[in-house]
Chain A
Amino acid sequence: MNMLTDAAVEAVLTEAPKETLKMRGSGVNVFYGEKQALFDVNLDIRENQVTALIGPSGCGKSTFLRCLNRMNDTIDICRVNGEITLDGEDIYDPRIDVVELRARVGMVFQKPNPFPKSIYENVAYGPRIHGLASTKSEFDAIVETSLQKAGLFNEVKDRLHEPGTGLSGGQQQRLCIARAIAVSPEVILMDEPCSALDPIATAKVEELIDELRENYTIVIVTHSMQQAARVSQRTAMFHLGHLVEEGPTDKIFTNPDDKRTQDYITGRFG
């Protein structure tokens, strides 16, 4: 008993307030049919930090990301075992409500995918289905603050009722971020959010990610080493379904423990 309490006290003392654990994956294995895509992955996601998942194509980083809000449930042949927790609760527990989980752990996809509806409707849709607002003015407020947080409001405030698909690629992606923010998630998962964007749009989204860190916990999958270095505080390197190495971004990029990480970040493979 005492030992445990001491350990807990120690944990609280050593971890700075900003270093609280938000999500934790322990012993995560994922199978697509017979094929195993992830092998015994243990990874902690810290609150109000940006965690970057890097690694060559097919290494399982997107698979791990999609486990964090159970998007893999939509794939029939996908099986997940091990434990993933959100605030200490196992998200694969049968008693967990997936709808609530996905509202708390939002997601932004590789290709901007706004609904073919108005900009306003894109943002208001989530709050509407979850019943987060009831009056017109409440919806207006949510839409405005979400767009503001996504850094898009000034660009679209005069055309909120025009289709979201008419925006440029970068604006669409920020609209998707606003849509995710509108349901007040705690964690935002981003699956290569800039891979379909030009460098200027990418810079804007990266800047936005850095601002969002203040209020949200962010996990981002990226193929760009520079992006991982620029936006993240912690980096996890995946290779062939294994978590190779995880640590503060500075350390991963300057002094990695593993040879494979060294090779990957210096462009020797991947």
Chain B
Amino acid sequence: MSETTATAPKPFDWSSPEAMAKRKRRYAADRRLRLYGLVSILVAIGLLGILIASLVVTGYSAFVQTKIAVEFTADPENVPAEDPGAGNFRAVVSNAVQALFPEIENRRELRTASKILSNGATTIVRNHVIANPGLVGQTFTLEVPASDPFDQLNKGVIDRNLPEDRRRVSDAEIELFESLEARGLVSTPFNWGLFFNADSRFPELAGLAGAVVGSFYALLVCFLISFPVGIAAAIYLEEFAPKNRWTDLVEVNINNLAAVPSIVFGLLGLAVFIQVFGLPRSAPLVGGMVLSLMTLPTMIIVTRAALKSIPPSIREAALGIGASKHEVILHHVLPLALPGILTGTIIGLAQALGETAPLLLIGMNAFLTSPPGGIMDPATALPTQIFIWADSPERGFASRTSAAILVLLGFLIFMNAVAIYLRQRFERRW
């Protein structure tokens, strides 16, 4: 066993206990490394799951809306046939409530009963009659949203078994509502209003239409500015600029710009676009300009990376048959880099879509009850709408906030999916 010569190194014994123990330790280290990675991924997935789950739990109820089928009578006394819009629809609604509850006799109780219907019922009936002038003098059934407390009551957010002084709806009100339920007049259809209504002070009427349109306009402006400017800047830096200290400086600063907190761009927008250029406050135009300041560095970096990934052999091939520089770039390099550029653009726009702070500074958190008609009109955006709703005290806004976040996440997932699809579909490998 211990016979060894003095000069030659002892042949390594792979089966000695020390060697086996060392190998075992190395395998254990491999397994630990793998385990750490696995645990990190599970933690990340778990946190994401908790986030989505909590949003769904609080937000799902906002995707349905309690509605009550009410019979309205547009009697000519209240609604003049020649000009239905000028009618007294408050009286029409009040008469309809009286008809729902014939047993109520005094005005105070009637007013309490009216509160079951949304405050917007008058407007809804008015719009319906204006749209169908033939209804004047007729009786018709219309489903109107229940007001927020009763909406919450119906969805079980307000617990009927709590003592009366600890809930927002009194026993008498619950009794009235239950009588409607017993008559089968209460339904909870899908809440299209969440997507097609603009904002409102009343949660049951509030929707995301204004915010979606505002975000769309802002992103459109952002795209129209940052896409051409970003590509042109990237082409210059990548294909034309001499490599010297000045271009190095520009490059470092572009990378720095990408890391500037977004609120700083908001301040810049406020100070320059609104104060100096005199552009309107709260407008998607200014929002888009501010967002484009943020996406521009990302766009430039992504485009440069895409241009750089085009193999030099393609440039040489084109140069070799006498293509000039712009032909090499426009006919060969840019088309090949386009899938990468588009992917980067979509991801940049998705970032811009979720950006809140700069929009707050330029006033895109205004309370507006109609969607903007253009890029100069005051508007909100999806993230600022979430901000406004999260700030509102009514119970209904809590679930709407979560629902709006889910809608925003839906848009982001959709945009990223498009980016992934484009990359898979058009990316070319050499």
Contact = CB atoms under 8 A, between A and B. Distances in A.
B115 interface: no
Nearest to A113: B313
B322 A115 contact: no
Given A76-B242, A115-B332, A71 B315 contact: no
Contacts of B313: 109, 111, 113
Contact of A71 (B314, B316, B332, B336): B316
Interface string B293-318: 00000000000000000010111111
Given A111-B313, A116-B336, A179 B321 contact: yes
Given A76-B243, A129-B327, A114 B317 contact: yes
A102 interface: yes
B23 interface: no
A180 B321 contact: yes
Contact of B320 (A100, A106, A111, A182): A106
Nearest to B327: A129
A107 B318 CA distance: 10
Given A76-B243, A115-B332, A116-B428, A126 B321 contact: yes
A106 B315 CA distance: 14
B319 interface: yes
A230 interface: no
Interface size class of A (residues with CB under 8 A): 20 to 34
Interface size class of B (residues with CB under 8 A): 20 to 34
A99 B316 CA distance: 13
Contacts of B311: 113
Contacts of A51: none
A180 B323 CA distance: 12
Interface string A101-112: 111001111010
What secondary structure prevails in chain B residues at the interface with A? Answer: helix
B314 A69 contact: no
A99 B322 contact: yes
B5 interface: no
A76 B323 CA distance: 18
Contacts of A116: 314, 336, 428
Contact of A103 (B315, B321, B336): B321
A241 B291 CA distance: 55
B205 to A, nearest CB: 54
B321 A109 contact: no
Given A116-B336, A129-B327, A74 B315 contact: yes
A115 B242 CA distance: 27
B106 interface: no
Nearest to A101: B322
B324 A99 contact: yes
A64 to B, nearest CB: 16
Given A125-B331, A129-B321, 18 more contacts: A71-B316, A76-B243, A99-B324, A102-B319, A102-B322, A103-B322, A106-B320, A109-B313, A109-B317, A113-B311, A113-B314, A114-B317, A115-B318, A126-B322, A126-B323, A129-B327, A129-B331, A176-B317
